[in-house]
Amino acid sequence: MSSPADRLHALLARPGLLLMPGCHDALSAKLIEEAGFPLAFMSGFAVSAARLALPDTGLISYGEMVDQGRNLCASVSIPVIGDGDTGFGNPLNVRRTVQGYARAGFAGIMIEDQVSPKRCGHTRGKAVLPREEARLRLQAAVDARAEGADILIMARTDARATDGLDEAIERCRDFAAIGADITFLEAPESEAEMRRYCAEVPGPKMANLIEFGKTPVLPPAQLEAIGYQIAVYPLTLLNVSIKAMRAALRQLREGQAPEVLDFETLTAAVGFPEYYAGETRYRCER
C-alpha cells in the first residue's frame, strides 16, 4: 500500500490544477473526501479557531496541532498537507515537527519563514526571519525528510508583505534549490504578481485563496493557466460553518426552526451505517 506522501507525489505528477479545501477536524476532512476532492489541507488558522477559539497568532502548540492532525489523517484516505507554522522553534524543533507530522499520517507539511509567534498571512503585524535563517529552517525540514520522514515539504514565505515581491521570489527560488517539493509565496496582491511568481520559480506552486483576503480569488482554469499546481481554500469550511451556526442560533433565539439535515442524513454523515454493519458482522448468535 502506498504511503500518504506517495499518493501526494502521484497527484503532483498529473497534469492539471489540484483543488484543496481546508479542514479543521476529522469530520471536515471526511466531508472533503466525500465530496470527491483529491487532497485536503489542515489549516492552522482553522484548527486554532475550532480547537481553542483563538486567533492564528502562534498561540496553538505543536502538541495540539499534531494531535488534531493524527485524528484528522486517520479519518480519510486522501493525502493531507498539514500546517507546520514556523516549525515551533529552532531548526532542531523543525526537524522534530516534520518527523512528528509524518508519523501522524500527513502527506506533506508546510513550513514558513515568519518569526515566532507567527500569524495568519493575510493579517497585519507579520515579520520574517533574515534570509539565511529562513534557509536554515527549510534545510532542517529537508534534512528530516532525507533522514526518513516520509513526507513532502512545502516551503512558504511571507516576505511579500515585509520586504516586497522581489525578496519573496528570491526566497522561493532558494527554497526550491534546497529541496522543497512545493513552494508557496503568501499573499501576492495582484494577478500580475501571481504570474511573475509562477514564471520565475521552478517546481510545483500553491495559490492561497482566502475569501476577502489580499490575493485575488481567481477561477481554477485561470490559476492553472498562470502556472499553479495547487489551489488551497483554507478557510472556506470554517467560514461557512460559523455563518451557518450563527444563523441557526439566531433562529432558535427567535423561536424559529432552523433548516437542518434530517436525522438519517446526519447519522450517516458521522458513520452510523458503517458502525451498524460492523455490529451485524460481529454479532454473536445465542
- 147 pLDDT more than 80: yes
Q: How far is CA 264 from CA 20, 74, 274, in A?
A: 28, 24, 13
| Residue 100, amino acid | G
Which whole number is the average pLDDT over 137-150? Answer: 97
- 156 pLDDT more than 90: yes
**Quick one: which of 169, 244, 235, 233 has its CA closest to 207?**
233
Which whole number is the average pLDDT over 36-55? Answer: 97
**Mean pLDDT (the chain, rounded):** 96
122-136, 153-167, 220-234: segment of lowest average pLDDT: 122-136
Question: How would you write 170-223 as a 3-class SS string?
Answer: HHHHHHHHHCCCEEEECCCCCHHHHHHHHHHCCCCEEEECCCCCCCCCCCHHHH
When pLDDT is cut at 50, 70 and 90, the band that residue 117 belongs to is confident
Write the pLDDT tens digit of every residue in 256-274: 999 999 999 999 999 999 9
- 172 pLDDT more than 90: yes
The domains found in the chain, sorted by start residue, are 4-243 (3.20.20.60)
Write the pLDDT tens digit of every residue in 205-258: 999 999 999 999 999 999 999 999 999 999 999 999 999 999 999 999 999 999
Confidence (pLDDT) at 113: 97
When pLDDT is cut at 50, 70 and 90, the band that residue 118 belongs to is confident
Confidence (pLDDT) at 241: 97
Confidence (pLDDT) at 132: 96
Q: How far apart are CA 17 and CA 188, in angstroms?
A: 19
Instruction: Write down the pTM of the prediction.
Output: 0.95
Write the pLDDT tens digit of every residue in 193-214: 999 999 999 999 999 999 999 9
- 119 pLDDT more than 90: no
